Amino acid sequence: MKELEKTSSVCPACFQEGKIHKIDAKIIEDDGKVWIAKTCDEHGEFKDIYFGDVGLYQKWMKFGKSGDVNPDVKTSLFDDPSLYPEHRSQSVLTNLLVTNRCNLRCGYCFMNAGASGYVYEPSLDEIKKMLEQARKERPMGSKAIQITGGEPTIREDLFDIVRLAREAGFSHIQLNSNGIKLAESVEYCKKLKEAKVNTVYMSFDGVSKETNPWIDQLIQTIENFREANLRAVLVPVIIGEKNLHETGKIIQFALDHIDIIRGVNFQPVSFCGRITKIKDEKREKQRVDYVRMMEVIEKEFHGLISRDDFYPVPFVYPVSELIESLKGEKQVEFTAHPGCGGATYIFLEDGKPLPITRFIDVEGFMKFINEQAEVKGPLKKVRVATSFLRNVDKFVDKEKAPKDFDLKKILIDAAVGGSYDSLRGFHYKSLFVGSMWFMDTFNLNLHRLERCCIHYTTEEGIIPFCSYNGLGYGDKIREKHSLPIKEWEKKTGRPMREDLWKHGPLT
């Protein structure tokens, strides 16, 4: 056993007793795998998987980048002691929770109005304040908002919420949905497109009815998106012994619908909310780390996609630095902890998947971009563009690259234009495949938490994702700003059971 890093965490047993107890923790290597280990004076030792391959862990960790201090992100709430001194990442994506009601009852969900006993549903005025709060963050206001729930399409005023987000100045608006209502009406999908919703972040746990009881409905949803010219990202929650074996098949499904599906973002299950009090044996069987998931993908695609094709979120940080230096203004910075997630781009060439790493020296190219960000003096844009023209071919294997993909043009446009919009060419005939593994009290690493770049805007301030869900702050916020179900039913004149989908299974 070898110690790799000292960090801090919390005791999961203390948490189940209703208190957040900060304790020392270590990241250790044991038998080729990486673990988080910690000891509570009262409850003893805890150990959970962190990375199933020490080699991949070491590769990812070298790209770590600490971001600017974000004083508006809460490091604790409700009189709890601060978990860490200051937050070190921007809000790359901000979640806006608009309801905890849903038409389904998925067992792993972070929230459930029926189980909690109350309805959380902020008014439009409250939503407007939360949107403005996110836009006023320092050192840089959030530019991307995700409208989430519960199931947001349950709200009849959803399009008013989208309008408020646009008026607040968000340049990217995505809707998080289970897709059920979207399957029922192509006109509803067209209205989302007209409202300028950029992407639907859609639950999609498998390709069979055993893993995804609503597969028929979601296929119809994709057909509706095709007619409405709306794009989707599939979001599978991956659970061992449930749907882990279908991770590769989910990617293939997305490739088969690459005109509509822009990405797959796997989310290995987090033991939060209703599944916090899980027994150790069951948790170990259901726990899925990146490597366990990638092993299935490698086998499914016979090595055409492998763990070596994936890089952590902060790997692309030099792109932000370059654009910032060209435009002379602050840009979105991807400074999440390397352990938070990784991704690659998959192109289709002759019907076969082709990861971007197979025809571009991505590490060499990022080093080159970083060097261009350091260029000083007059005519910088011209000098950078000239450097790209002279050097980009060094990083591209033209014989392996997609035949109709002009990488040089895309990169020059990005350098001269100085905008992320110029990089949209990367998405041409490509599929983003990534994973975000959100933490729970068993594997919480506070060094990761302080660099979280996915946040919630709430009545109590800006909250990191893994504090909101993993540490139960979301439960407390929702309960504080909610109505008991009976009171909500009396106020609205309708029983909450009317929300439930009536044409198939609920879980």
Q: Residue 223 corresponds to which amino acid?
A: E
Q: Which of 255, 413, 260, 292 is nearest to 48 (CA)?
A: 292
Of 39-48, 136-145, 387-396, which gets the smallest average pLDDT? Answer: 387-396
Strands 22-30 and 33-40, bridge-based pairing: antiparallel
Which of the 8 DSSP states describes residue 331?
A: -
Over residues 407-411, mean pLDDT:
72
**What is the DSSP secondary-structure string of 93-156?**
EEEEE--S--SS--TT-S--HHHHTEE----HHHHHHHHHHHHT-SSS---EEEEESS-GGG-T
- Percentage of the chain with pLDDT > 70? 96
Over residues 304-333, mean pLDDT:
92
pLDDT band at 413 (very low <50, low <70, confident <90, very high): low
Q: What is the pLDDT of residue 421?
A: 55
Which CATH code is given to the segment(s) 93-436? Answer: 3.20.20.70
Over residues 156-183, mean pLDDT:
98
Q: What is the pLDDT of residue 406?
A: 76
Q: What is the pLDDT of residue 423?
A: 58
pLDDT digits (tens, 9 = 90+) for 199-225: 999 999 999 999 999 999 999 999 999
Q: What is the pLDDT of residue 476?
A: 95
pLDDT digits (tens, 9 = 90+) for 261-285: 999 999 999 999 878 888 999 999 9
Q: What is the pLDDT of residue 412?
A: 61
With 70 as the cut, is the pLDDT of residue 416 above it?
A: no
With 70 as the cut, is the pLDDT of residue 401 above it?
A: yes
Which of the 8 DSSP states describes residue 173?
A: E
* Helix (H) / strand (E) containing 57: helix 54-61
What are the phi and psi torsion angles at 344 (to 5°)? -150, 170
Over residues 358-362, mean pLDDT:
96
CA distance linking residue 418 with residue 341, whole number of Å: 26
Q: What is the pLDDT of residue 377?
A: 84
Q: What is the pLDDT of residue 267?
A: 97
Q: Which of 317, 394, 306, 401 is nearest to 344 (CA)?
A: 306
pLDDT digits (tens, 9 = 90+) for 98-110: 999 999 988 777 6
Q: What is the pTM of this model?
A: 0.95
With 70 as the cut, is the pLDDT of residue 426 above it?
A: no
Q: Which of 375, 411, 418 is nearest to 395 (CA)?
A: 411
Q: What is the pLDDT of residue 422?
A: 52
